[in-house]
Chain A
Amino acid sequence: DAGVTQSPTHLIKTRGQQVTLRCSPKSGHDTVSWYQQALGQGPQFIFQYYEEEERQRGNFPDRFSGHQFPNYSSELNVNALLLGDSALYLCASSLARGRSTEAFFGQGTRLTVV
């Protein structure tokens, strides 16, 4: 049973560029949430996707957008990258029904903006 998988594992981008990160949820899960984790901090909620729609959003600018595909996988897009966007980006999957608060995380994508 595959867990949550993210790609790529590491990425270096230049300020102003755009980036796309990918996530495949745990088998059987239908909800994907994205988090940003700065060094030395706890993860911060970016947004959540269910049924291919953004259901909830945290306090992040519109430069952060996402998508969910029919197979429940998801992408996180960040436009006009800033140095402050450097962080570990985590994807978490869960089930919309039942105990949906049990979120399982991938290994993350380490984004460095230079």
Chain B
Amino acid sequence: GQQLNQSPQSMFIQEGEDVSMNCTSSSIFNTWLWYKQDPGEGPVLLIALYKAGELTSNGRLTAQFGITRKDSFLNISASIPSDVGIYFCAGPRAGGTSYGKLTFGQGTILTVHP
């Protein structure tokens, strides 16, 4: 079945450092979504990408839609303790009637040391 592979699986960084994580797939995606999930909560949408090569920012977060449409990257600049959580990439399969049927990666766990 279709899979999204996120790396790294976990990251331990110092406050103030920049963070990079990525998501790859064997299938083409028309949309890439990045979510953050805190313990015991639902995922919160951070950034949505709709076009190959697109670079979108949301505050200290920047995400890019890969040119091949099979990958995406999320960067967090100047990390702060509240950035702690699990970051998921997600997207609907290209073509067909997959709107709303999101496939998620397994997540990147981010820990920020003060």
Question: Which A residues are within 8 Å of any B CB, using their own CB?
Answer: 4, 6, 31, 33, 35, 41-45, 48, 50, 55-56, 58-59, 90, 92, 94, 96, 99-108, 110
> Which of B12-20, B35-43, B53-61 makes up part of the contact surface?
B35-43
Kindly report which residue of chain B lies nearest to residue A104, judged by CB atoms: B45
Is B41 touching A42 in the complex (CB atoms < 8 A)?
A: no
* Contact count band on B: 20 to 34
Q: A42-B105, A99-B50 are in contact. Are A105 and B42 (CB under 8 A)?
A: yes
Q: Which residues of A contact B30 (CB under 8 A)?
A: 101
**Shortest CB–CB separation between residue A45 and chain B, in angstroms?**
5
Q: A101-B91, A105-B43, A107-B42 are in contact. Are A94 and B106 (CB under 8 A)?
A: no
Question: Which B residues are within 8 Å of any A CB, using their own CB?
Answer: 1, 4, 30-31, 33, 35, 40-45, 48, 50, 88, 90-92, 97-107
Q: Which residues of A contact B31 (CB under 8 A)?
A: 101
**Shortest CB–CB separation between residue B37 and chain A, in angstroms?**
9
Is A107 touching B104 in the complex (CB atoms < 8 A)?
A: no
Is A107 touching B41 in the complex (CB atoms < 8 A)?
A: yes
**Shortest CB–CB separation between residue A67 and chain B, in angstroms?**
17
Q: Which residues of B contact A107 (CB under 8 A)?
A: 40-42
Q: A101-B48, A102-B33 are in contact. Are A56 and B42 (CB under 8 A)?
A: no
**Shortest CB–CB separation between residue A18 and chain B, in angstroms?**
24
Q: Which residues of A contact B104 (CB under 8 A)?
A: 42-44
- What are 7 A-to-B residue pairs whose CB atoms are below 8 Å? A33-B102, A59-B1, A101-B30, A101-B91, A101-B102, A105-B44, A108-B40
Q: Which residues of B contact A45 (CB under 8 A)?
A: 101-103
Is B42 touching A48 in the complex (CB atoms < 8 A)?
A: no
Q: A4-B42, A106-B42, A107-B42 are in contact. Are A99 and B48 (CB under 8 A)?
A: yes
Is A101 touching B92 in the complex (CB atoms < 8 A)?
A: yes
Q: Which residues of B contact A94 (CB under 8 A)?
A: 100
**Shortest CB–CB separation between residue A74 and chain B, in angstroms?**
13
Is B41 touching A33 in the complex (CB atoms < 8 A)?
A: no
